[in-house]
Structure 1
């Protein structure tokens, strides 16, 4: 499936899939969306709510590595200790990764960004004292974790193009993967996705969305 570079509203790049008319990130701002949805309403929310700086995160859709990179930067800045697991069925190519401009816009290390991508799959890597990374190349339907994570970044392609990723079956796997009081955040606010989350036991909140989007969702697994 052909992917082309697209400049988004905040100057950061994403990848566009013409066949689906779908992007890896919001066209209104890739970095802005990731900071709002996953860092502010996910990572910062969980740390404040639980008064803990040690956290296990699973990302559904490792993709461009932007969410992992921003999480690394937050871990370094705030001295969080993070075990990060990224799940991706179809990894990007090196040429696509090198075309992304996240490190320069964030005034951050390009070497670390590339290290996130170059780290071998199915192995645990120490990116720094604050972040350990494991990448699993698998379909989301193959996830069978149990009570393993505090936070899930659910960043799958949209329900319009991949409705099979927004079903009760998938959200049951997400629910099972979380520890009690674990949280899932996603850019989506689709009613069918919300009902699927609720059907498996999540308590779901609608929150103000990132630039260009009215709402997003945060789901909590109660103890």
Structure 2
């Protein structure tokens, strides 16, 4: 499980942060226009910050589809630490990255050093069971495919960060979306970098109000939806 995959290579994106290119799928893990900028805009600002401003909660639970390099988690944990928000974070990842790849991302340049060190220390444990990252944050990485994910928890926010539908259409169909959004609380927020006619229609059928939100650099719009 922890051998370095031969189909992955690091690239530097437009904002100077790194991402991975998966040659087998033919897509980057993050936007070439800026991995850090995309993660912060789509998920932290348009998802986490939006939800907290809306609800004024001091505790939040996040479910991420496509944990990948952990960038969305790290920036969310950093934000919650600064705002004294308790964070319970679960990521779904069918193909967890080796610890050596996680350590080489360079994301230590974007978060507190103690958070970075704790993430690296507990990454392997989080793949097996919930791990305490710090006094306000827990992390669990479910090593499973989306449709096999089970949990007795409900979540406040879903970060939907799967590879694009052109490469992984099975991640974006009605069955997959219905399965994952069943874990979202009423009033919970679903955010993703993508916005297509099919996605909007699917989310409406599932009982969501949808919004075209401004996209990250290089993308005009993104989708944010609230469960009614």
Once residues 132 and 147 of structure 1 are traced to their aligned partners in structure 2, the CA distance between those partners, rounded to angstroms, is 14
For 1:135, the equivalent position in structure 2 comes to: 141
For 2:168, the equivalent position in structure 1 comes to: 162
Residue 106 of structure 1: how far off its partner (Å): 4.2
1:49 alignment partner, one of 49, 54, 59: 54
For 1:34, the equivalent position in structure 2 comes to: 39
Q: CA RMSD in A?
A: 1.6
Once residues 12 and 169 of structure 1 are traced to their aligned partners in structure 2, the CA distance between those partners, rounded to angstroms, is 34
Once residues 43 and 32 of structure 1 are traced to their aligned partners in structure 2, the CA distance between those partners, rounded to angstroms, is 15
Runs of 4+ deviating beyond 3 Å: 105-110, 144-147
For 2:202, the equivalent position in structure 1 comes to: 196
Are the aligned partners of 2:126 and 2:139 in contact in 1 as well (CA < 8 Å)?
no
Q: Which runs of 5+ in 2 are unaligned?
A: 1-5
Once residues 105 and 131 of structure 1 are traced to their aligned partners in structure 2, the CA distance between those partners, rounded to angstroms, is 17
Are the aligned partners of 2:118 and 2:134 in contact in 1 as well (CA < 8 Å)?
no
Query: How many residues are matched?
Result: 222
Q: Which runs of 5+ in 1 are unaligned?
A: none
Query: What TM-score do you get using the length of structure 1 for normalisation?
Result: 0.94
Q: Could you report, residue by residue, the CA deviation over 1:160-183 in whole angstroms, capped at 9, with x for unpaired residues?
A: 100000011111112210111011
For 1:206, the equivalent position in structure 2 comes to: 212
